[in-house]
């Protein structure tokens, strides 16, 4: 039995009366049935955000037809919008260095069907995880980059990463503990389609060994933050965060182990939200429809 075409519409526009009515009316006009819908009006920015998951009951309601229909409404309301095929698995590239817990977690979730993505490549500045990639039959690209490498060398390596992304038609780049600071140009090239996991509950404890810093301060909560990559280091719009409670009896190694578990969960949630088109950027923040 063939699946009915399903789509996800995401939009943002200046807030005004009647947006939900107009969108649902257009869908009804094209014999589409709403499966779930979420919306949010932000009083501070006077902006409206919406995500609609719907099925086309009539075969004539193709992506091309619906896209053309929404284009007119979008222009009328000043919308930024996208229409996605809900059955499409976005093409993903993962960047990693030498700490592999997030990579391993994403690969397992992908293999087990918990994460609906098509992982096209794993790229690393170290060769450590080529066997792990091979075990999942995913191409592994080793692009060395020494610590403190000159800017010119770094840009050459980054261009190779972008060439792989372009060749694989990648829709999302995931920095799964990729321990290199991306150049401003690289951040611009990946704007809106690169997610990083920060091994801390931002904005505290930036820099090296955050769990050791947390231990020295006697914290009672540690956490992790997934955010979009921008040229402002670790200050991109936040997508997902979580924390774990700790106490004075735990050493820095135990805090690190607990923290890494949190990182895996937070990054996986953020990636899943992205591939299900649940994230809309609202200035320096995000609206994430659960």
SS3 (DSSP) at 272: helix
Q: How far apart are CA 93 and CA 259, in angstroms?
A: 24
Q: How far apart are CA 55 and CA 102, in angstroms?
A: 34
Cβ atoms of residues 30 and 61 within 8 Å: yes
Cβ atoms of residues 241 and 198 within 8 Å: no
Reported residue count of the chain is 290
Tokens 């257009």 locate to 26
SS3 (DSSP) at 144: coil
The region that residue 148 occupies, defined by phi over 0 for left and psi between -120 and 50 for alpha, beta otherwise, is left
> Does the active-site annotation cover 85?
no
Q: How far apart are CA 174 and CA 104, in angstroms?
A: 13
From 15, 42, 118, 234, the catalytic residue: 234
**Residues annotated as part of the active site:** 234
């Amino acid at each position: 039995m063939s699946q009915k075409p399903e789509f996800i519409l995401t939009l943002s526009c200046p807030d005004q009366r009647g947006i939900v009515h107009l969108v649902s009316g257009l869908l009804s006009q094209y014999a589409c049935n709403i499966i779930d819908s979420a919306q949010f009006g932000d009083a501070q920015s006077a902006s409206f955000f919406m995500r609609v998951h719907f099925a086309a009951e009539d075969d004539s309601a193709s992506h091309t037809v619906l896209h053309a229909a929404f284009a007119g409404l979008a222009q009328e309301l000043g919308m930024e919008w996208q229409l996605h095929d809900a059955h499409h698995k976005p093409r993903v590239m993962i960047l990693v260095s030498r700490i592999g817990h997030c990579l391993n977690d994403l690969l397992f979730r992908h293999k087990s069907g918990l994460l609906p993505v098509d992982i096209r490549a794993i790229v690393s500045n170290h060769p450590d995880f080529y066997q792990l990639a091979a075990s999942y039959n995913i191409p592994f690209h080793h692009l060395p980059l020494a610590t403190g490498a000159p800017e010119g060398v770094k840009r050459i390596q980054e261009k190779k990463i972008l060439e792989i992304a372009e060749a694989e038609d990648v829709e999302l780049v995931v920095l799964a503990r990729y321990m290199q600071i991306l150049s401003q140009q690289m951040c611009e090239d990946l704007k809106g389609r690169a997610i990083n996991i920060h091994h801390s509950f931002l904005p505290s404890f930036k820099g090296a060994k955050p769990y050791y810093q947390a231990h020295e301060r006697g914290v009672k909560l540690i956490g992790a933050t997934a955010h979009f990559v921008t040229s402002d280091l670790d200050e991109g719009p936040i997508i997902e965060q979580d924390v774990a409670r700790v106490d004075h009896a735990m050493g820095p190694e135990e805090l690190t182990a607990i923290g890494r578990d949190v990182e895996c969960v937070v990054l996986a949630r953020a990636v899943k939200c992205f591939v299900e088109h649940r994230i809309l950027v609202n200035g320096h923040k995000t609206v994430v429809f659960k």
